[in-house]
Chains A and B, each alone.
Chain A
Amino acid sequence: MSGAFSVVGERLPRVDAMDQTMGKTQYVDDMTLPGMLVGRHLTSIHAHARILSIDTSRAEALVGVHAVITGADLPITYGILPISQDEHALAVGRVRYVGEPVAAVAAINPEIAEQALALIDVSYEPLDEVVTLEQALETDHPMLHGDGLGQNVHRSAALEFGDVEEGFARADYVREDVFFFGGNTHAALETHVALASYSQTGKLTLWSSTQVPHYVHRTLEKVLELPAGRIRVIATAIGGGFGGKTDPFSHELTAAKLSMVTGRPVKINLSREEVFYAHRGRHPVLMWVKTGFENNGQITSMHFKTFLDGGAYSSYGVASLYYTGALQTTTYRIPNYRFEGLRVFTNKPPCGPKRGHGTPQPRFGLECHLDKAAADLGLDPVTIRQVNAVEPFSTTVNHLRITSCALVECIDKVVEASDFTVKRGRLPSGRGVGLAVGAYMSGAGLPIYFNDMPQSEVQIKIDRGGGVTVYSMATDIGQGSTTMLATVVAEALGLEPRDINMVIADTDLTPVDLGSYSSRVTFMAGNAAVTAGAKIRSRVVQAVADELGVDPAQVVTKGGRVGVSGDLDRCVTWAEAVRLAIAATGPLVESGGYTAPKLAGTFRGAGVGISPAYSYSACVVEVDCAADTGLVKVERVWLAHDIGRALNPLLTEGQVEGGVYMGLGEALYEEHTFRGGLHRGPSLLDYKIPTALDMPPVETFLVESDDPEGPLGAKEVGQGPLLPVIPAVANAIHDALGVRIDEVPITPQKIVAALRNVSRGRPGRIGPETIPDFEFSRLTRVEPPEGFVTP
């Protein structure tokens, strides 16, 4: 199909690739401004304590210190979600995790800044620490938010679609399982950095390694009480995000405040350890799933419970909570579905969105659960997934609209390429294969704060010399969004992506895009760019048609020329065409916007999980496990991804490979672990992100289902491919050794422990046995959507 395109579908490099490899790309920390000061945070050494007093006078007296601020200087709360504004830039009255910023200094150099921190006297009264899910559900600990003792429940959810009990009643077979998914973090190579400069004219400029300049803009407006028009946020090149730079952060606010106080630019560069505390990573989730099946494997009913350990603040938590229940139905037809979930506060760094936001945990549980059920039903892992696979252009019981869907094709691809059916159960002991699938949103259907404005706007301005400049606030966190935008515009105008000038992620210069999260940029900014590009194209084509005296329908834009289709002599250069258009119709400036269709149901929580389109992935992993050491070597990964259309296969493959990498890290190596409230290893030595020696070959298959609403048919690829990797590893280890590790990460210790259990006649399983006895209240019963067909 890509034959219909000229640059779409080509394996072109990123438009900024040579800057990157020549070392010219500018990240925030590569910038210096005249008179710039160094900012640092003093962080809490208590997981939970009342702040009795803070005395900054000794620090202020130190020569070279320009300012010291505390929570009193930034009293206004904020938070990414309008419903949970519970954060302070610097702790006010109480600290809730080790590493929470308490005070900030600005000094002439890092050495003096560090000395100043040591001179700030904070007097704490330690409080009872709440560090586990169990403790959070007890009633005799202090509440993290609020006064007195009580349960630390942040939010709970209870939804039922259809009639779950009826579904279980007609099942031939019902199975329950409990799983745990350990918390982990993004660990982007670039630490978080912000540089603020407040001018004499009262204008604040903030350069930040943020995925969401628009939300940072709004937060600065609120907390600093400056008019939005006096604030400019620029997201510079970003050294990796993965969701870790998707909240407004303390250092963005303190750098800005310190610049306002000192009148000098202030840069704050979080240390690697501080990044571990800023966190917003994967929630630890304990989960329970009960599913009814017919003998042929068809699901009759499912009940899913999740318990999220949220850390100290809300962040995206309400959304994270609902995400743990929302997308199970996007891969399998579940006629009756109940979701109950709970998020608690604990005295640990706040969790939030990491690649897959709230969905890798239940996906892990669900895909392992299905394999177990299949075994009991005498079915193979392929069949049980095929039998239940959702169909394109259908609606799920929980009111999610499915459009293009190539789930079955994805399964077929990886099963065939990996020889899964031949290998499964037949490889020598210690070797095994596992299969799993997943689906993810191409952008959240709703913006984070309620509004009816477009979720993405793109402008295109054409210079009289033919130069094309695209303006978008979409942030390129390495996923290639800038190249994607250049590609769709180049396609429309018959140019090359490298011909397009890109102005991105600057609130003064670029129209709003909500940011790089929820895999929304290709779909939303891409569609906005397609619209803007089409408007420019049509004006140029009309002008050229008029000039040549032909019907505009005959005019094509290709190879830097605009002319008559099939008649190469009758054309003008792009630059001439542009001048004709400007002469005929005035300034050649157009914009496009994208607003997702109204998809949300009316029930509470209906806003989470809706998306204009879902990507689909299937994955087979082959492992070689040493039974004596429990060490797992991943031999190879096959991953097929329904991307709608691969606008640039080189870059999209890179997203798949990166997703596989991150999934393998989560499956086998990475975990945020704590002793009490203290992080056990906030460093890249203790937190094990895989090295070049730990990465297997990956075979990627891009499946193009041509989504009817996607930009040129495209859907997301940044997050979805991670999802099936983790359960595929677990399923492969089961095939290899016969043990079930129902807990992520699957460490060598757990594998050996499971095998030791087997040798003692006990079940070869490691994982949680039970879930807390929590009474979920207010089950909201929702009728399946109109026209929902029970399989």
Chain B
Amino acid sequence: MTIRLPAFDYLTPETLEDAAAALADPDRSVIIVAGGTDVVPKMKRRQMTPEVLVSLSKIESLRGIRRDDEGRCVLGASTTLAEIHGSSLVPEVFASAAGDVASPQIRNTATLGGNLSLDTRCNYIDMSDSWRQASGYCLKDGGDTCWVAPRSNKCWAISSSDLATVALALGGSVKLTSVRGERMVPVEELYNNDGIAYSTQAPDEILVELVLPKDCGRATYQKLRRRGSIDFPLLGVAAVVSFDDAGVCASARIVVGAVASAPLRATEAEEFVVGRSFTKEVLEEAGRLATQSVRPQDNTDTGSRYRKWMVPVFVEQALRAVADTSE
């Protein structure tokens, strides 16, 4: 237990309003903590040293999964990944992706809101302070260089949330709340492809719930990682498609995760597959098109070349998986 947390004030509001008010404190740096599985390691490594942590754990309304009047699945932000994994109310693809995050212990603590708000990751920043000193503080860390791409003026830290990728493919929306009011934001608009400003959520906003559409079509999530457990995704591909009676693709959403600072829709591949049957050639072409839009960098635990090679493989694999279920 050599590595300790820095000092902070820990607030445990019992209502969302109180939490929002605490978060809006203009005088102190305040962040939200739910399960803490992302925030605690980062604070232990001194990647962030907020003065105040606002815990959501006492706010009962943020917990739980339900279907609303329109049959949509509404997941409270404080629902744990284990609860999502075990829920029959949740679209299967989402439940199964939740069950593939990190490790069993982390899934028992980590929350939906935390996973969707997961800070972007990079092996130049998810390091101890002395390591970062040795490397030189990077752009995301108050320095002036992104060590992943030193000539770039943007940060290339990676979106590593499995659920963001799947929620985006499913066409979900999140409800955000703050002292300024409430708003619904499509997951598609929740993220920026920028390792620092990766979220469009304002600092004073709390992610309250995720709403997934009633009908999810045929959906899959294919995740690449080195080990069977614990690891963040090196690549994640979610595909949600529908077919007409003739077996021709009627709609498709293909999202590639963990290759950029946000989950990215492979729009060219989507457009290509719509109106076509999923033949081997079509899948190959879709894989090729999806690859064009992504540029994995050398900032995970495997080489960037490999991740780039794997994009078409996983896109094809994902499309094959959804095609198979239609048989």
Cβ of A684 to closest chain B Cβ, rounded Å: 8
CB of B29 closer than 8 Å to a CB of A:
no
Cβ of A784 to closest chain B Cβ, rounded Å: 47
CB of A654 closer than 8 Å to a CB of B:
no
Cβ of A661 to closest chain B Cβ, rounded Å: 13
Give A191's nearest chain B residue, CB to CB. B2
CB of A693 closer than 8 Å to a CB of B:
yes
CB of A10 closer than 8 Å to a CB of B:
no
State whether A678 and B131 are in contact (beta carbons under 8 Å apart), knowing that A269-B2, A629-B313, A691-B229 are contacts in the complex.
Answer: yes
B4 touches A111 (CB 8 A): yes
B306 touches A752 (CB 8 A): yes
In whole angstroms, how far apart are the Cα atoms of A682 and B3 in the complex? 14
Cβ of A730 to closest chain B Cβ, rounded Å: 18
Give A690's nearest chain B residue, CB to CB. B227
A269 touches B301 (CB 8 A): no
In whole angstroms, how far apart are the Cα atoms of A447 and B299 in the complex? 45
In whole angstroms, how far apart are the Cα atoms of A437 and B226 in the complex? 27
Cβ of B7 to closest chain A Cβ, rounded Å: 8
List 14 A-B residue pairs with CB atoms under 8 Å apart, sorted by A's residue number.
A110-B2, A110-B4, A271-B2, A274-B2, A629-B224, A629-B313, A682-B127, A688-B301, A692-B229, A693-B227, A747-B302, A748-B226, A749-B305, A752-B309
A693 touches B226 (CB 8 A): no
CB of B202 closer than 8 Å to a CB of A:
no
B302 touches A748 (CB 8 A): yes
Q: How many pairs of residues, A versus B, come closer than 8 Å at their CB atoms?
A: 83
Residues of B78-93 whose CB lies within 8 A of A: none
Contact mask for chain A residues 675-713; partner B; CB cutoff 8 A; 1 contact, 0 none: 000111111011010111110000000000000000000
Interface size for B (C-beta < 8 A) is 32
CB of A529 closer than 8 Å to a CB of B:
no
Cβ of A381 to closest chain B Cβ, rounded Å: 29
Residues on B facing A (Cβ under 8 Å): 1-4, 7, 103, 123, 126-128, 130-131, 133-135, 224, 226-232, 301-303, 305-306, 309-310, 313, 317
A688 touches B130 (CB 8 A): no
In whole angstroms, how far apart are the Cα atoms of A111 and B7 in the complex? 9
In whole angstroms, how far apart are the Cα atoms of A111 and B44 in the complex? 12
B230 touches A685 (CB 8 A): yes
Residues on A facing B (Cβ under 8 Å): 29, 40, 43-46, 98, 110-111, 114, 191, 269-271, 273-274, 628-630, 669, 678-683, 685-686, 688, 690-694, 747-749, 752-753, 756
B230 touches A691 (CB 8 A): yes
Give A628's nearest chain B residue, CB to CB. B313
A678 touches B302 (CB 8 A): no
State whether A749 and B306 are in contact (beta carbons under 8 Å apart), knowing that A111-B4, A270-B2, A629-B313 are contacts in the complex.
Answer: yes
State whether A678 and B134 are in contact (beta carbons under 8 Å apart), knowing that A110-B4, A688-B301, A749-B306 are contacts in the complex.
Answer: yes
B228 touches A693 (CB 8 A): yes
Give B235's nearest chain A residue, CB to CB. A629
Give A270's nearest chain B residue, CB to CB. B2
In whole angstroms, how far apart are the Cα atoms of A692 and B1 in the complex? 24
Residues of A contacting B127 in the complex (Cβ-Cβ under 8 angstroms): 682-683
A694 touches B123 (CB 8 A): no
Contact of B128 among A269, A273, A691, A752 (CB under 8 A): A273
Residues of A contacting B4 in the complex (Cβ-Cβ under 8 angstroms): 110-111, 114
Residues of B contacting A46 in the complex (Cβ-Cβ under 8 angstroms): 134
Residues of B contacting A690 in the complex (Cβ-Cβ under 8 angstroms): 227
Cβ of B321 to closest chain A Cβ, rounded Å: 14
Cβ of A251 to closest chain B Cβ, rounded Å: 11
Residues of A contacting B313 in the complex (Cβ-Cβ under 8 angstroms): 628-629
Residues of A contacting B7 in the complex (Cβ-Cβ under 8 angstroms): 111
Contact of B134 among A98, A110, A271, A669 (CB under 8 A): A98
Cβ of A254 to closest chain B Cβ, rounded Å: 14
Residues of A contacting B310 in the complex (Cβ-Cβ under 8 angstroms): 629
Known pairs A44-B134, A691-B103, A752-B309; list 14 more (Cβ under 8 Å): A45-B133, A98-B131, A269-B2, A270-B2, A273-B128, A274-B2, A678-B134, A688-B301, A690-B227, A748-B306, A749-B303, A752-B306, A753-B305, A756-B309
